[in-house]
């Protein structure tokens, strides 16, 4: 009987600890990671969450490896992989100078049980790329500039987040999901060729909105807490396992990130974050993407980056209980690109979340 009582007391103590942990995770601004991290937290049984994120990424100038390279150098020294095909010059005569990517991301989370949270994310993406076209087959005479645009619904991801461990000071969960090919891969726009013509062509790989393939997603997230600090780390990979209808697959993407947040009051936290990013080259080739431009080369897509993120989270209280606002600004500290390829300059993420 005494044994049973002790066991019962132990179970109650454990449950209280669990509820305490739960209370902590819902009542502080930093119970969510910096807003640039996806699938960073899980929910308790019966909870729903809606999220909206606005992301803007800006790229400018090109690199080969870690070295900046000018448009003139690219136009006169970089071989065109399509040389030998009709009207293809020996070097890359069209050079991208700037790219802006804007995303409106919608997300839903629901926990049918404490051990699993389901997540669906989709987005509307707008891409803009500016280019300079050099005249004819050689020299550095500029013929003109042009901008291509693409927009539409992006790929949609569905995922399960599985609670592996949780205690008062930390939690760990695994992510297993699938990216669905809801984004377009046949985007086209008019371009200015080195010959002065302006045909409508299928846009190169970085301007396409989707991957065109079902891509498995795997990840692992750790969150740790103390009274006024929190920290965490996440690994997340997207694997390409099939070719799309246009005869290629994008490179795998791997992200490894770690962050530290300071809780100034239950409603305000600030964060610093490092993220390592690695993306492979494209395997295969879209037969309709043929142009003397670096973005059309399947072997000029791989990137390795280290980014620094500065962010803050706000958590509503009272009548705004359950509402969150968060911002994060990311700057690359290091980037090594298979190039020539446009380099990242900065990224901004702003998000609103509501759980109930």
Asked if 37 touches Cu ion (CB under 5 A), the answer is no
Nearer to Cu ion, 157 or 335 (CB): 157
Number of H helices, E strands in the chain: 2, 17
> Are the C-beta atoms of residues 129 and 207 closer than 8 Å to each other?
yes
* Closest to 242 in 3D by CA, of 209, 283, 272: 283
CB of 19 to Cu ion, least distance (A): 19
Looking at residues 100 to 129 of the shown chain, list those that interact with Cu ion (rule: CB under 5 A): 109
Nearer to Cu ion, 49 or 64 (CB): 49
Asked if 132 touches Cu ion (CB under 5 A), the answer is no
Asked if 315 touches Cu ion (CB under 5 A), the answer is no
Asked if 347 touches Cu ion (CB under 5 A), the answer is no
DSSP 85: B
Per-residue H/E/C for 86-115: CCCCCECCEEEEEEEEEEEEEEEEEEEECC
CA distance 153 to 217: 19
Nearer to Cu ion, 30 or 286 (CB): 30
CB of 109 to Cu ion, least distance (A): 4
CB of 233 to Cu ion, least distance (A): 18
CB of 177 to Cu ion, least distance (A): 14
Asked if 38 touches Cu ion (CB under 5 A), the answer is no
One DSSP character per residue, 151-214 reads: EEE--EEEEEEEEEEE-SSEEEEEEEEEEE--S-S--EEE---TTS---EEEPPGGG-S--SS-
Nearer to Cu ion, 159 or 185 (CB): 159
Q: Which residues contact 47 (CB under 8 A, 6 or more apart)?
A: 109, 110, 111, 355, 356
> Number of residues in contact with Cu ion, rule: CB under 5 A?
2
- At residue 343, φ and ψ (nearest 5 deg) are -100, 150
Nearer to Cu ion, 40 or 338 (CB): 40
The stretch near Cu ion (CB under 5 A) out of 45-53, 235-243, 245-253, 277-285 is: 45-53
Asked if 49 touches Cu ion (CB under 5 A), the answer is yes
Binding site for Cu ion (CB under 5 A): 49, 109
């Amino acid at each position: 009987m005494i044994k049973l009582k002790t066991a019962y007391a132990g179970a109650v103590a454990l449950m209280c600890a669990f509820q305490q942990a739960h209370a902590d995770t819902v009542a502080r601004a930093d119970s969510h990671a910096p807003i640039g991290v996806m699938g960073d937290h899980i929910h308790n049984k019966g909870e729903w969450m809606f999220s909206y994120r606005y992301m803007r990424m800006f790229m400018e100038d090109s690199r080969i490896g870690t070295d900046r390279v000018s448009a003139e150098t690219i136009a006169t020294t970089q071989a065109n992989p399509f040389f030998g095909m009709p009207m293809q010059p020996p070097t890359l005569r069209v050079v991208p100078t700037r790219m802006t990517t804007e995303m409106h991301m919608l997300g839903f989370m629901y926990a049918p049980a404490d051990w699993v949270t389901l997540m669906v994310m989709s987005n509307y993406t707008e891409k803009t790329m500016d280019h300079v076209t050099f005249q004819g087959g050689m020299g550095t005479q500029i013929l003109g500039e042009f901008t291509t645009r693409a927009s539409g619904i992006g790929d949609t991801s569905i995922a399960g987040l599985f609670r592996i461990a949780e205690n008062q000071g930390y939690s760990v969960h695994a992510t297993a999901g699938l990216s669905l090919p809801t984004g377009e891969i046949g985007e086209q726009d008019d371009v200015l060729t080195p010959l002065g013509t302006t045909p409508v062509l299928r846009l190169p790989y970085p301007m396409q909105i989707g991957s065109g393939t079902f891509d498995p997603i795997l990840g692992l997230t750790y969150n740790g807490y103390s009274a006024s600090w929190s920290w965490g780390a996440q690994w997340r990979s997207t694997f390409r396992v099939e070719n799309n209808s246009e005869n290629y697959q994008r490179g795998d993407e791997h992200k490894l990130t770690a962050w530290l947040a300071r809780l100034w009051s239950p409603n305000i936290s600030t964060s610093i974050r490092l993220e390592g990013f690695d993306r492979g080259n494209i395997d295969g080739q879209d037969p309709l993407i043929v142009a003397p431009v670096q973005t059309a080369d399947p072997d000029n897509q791989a990137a390795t980056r280290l980014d620094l993120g500065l962010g803050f989270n706000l958590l509503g209280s009272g009548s705004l209980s359950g509402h969150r606002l968060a911002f994060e600004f990311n700057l690359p500290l290091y980037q090594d690109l298979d190039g020539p390829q446009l380099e990242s300059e900065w990224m901004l993420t702003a998000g609103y979340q509501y759980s109930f």
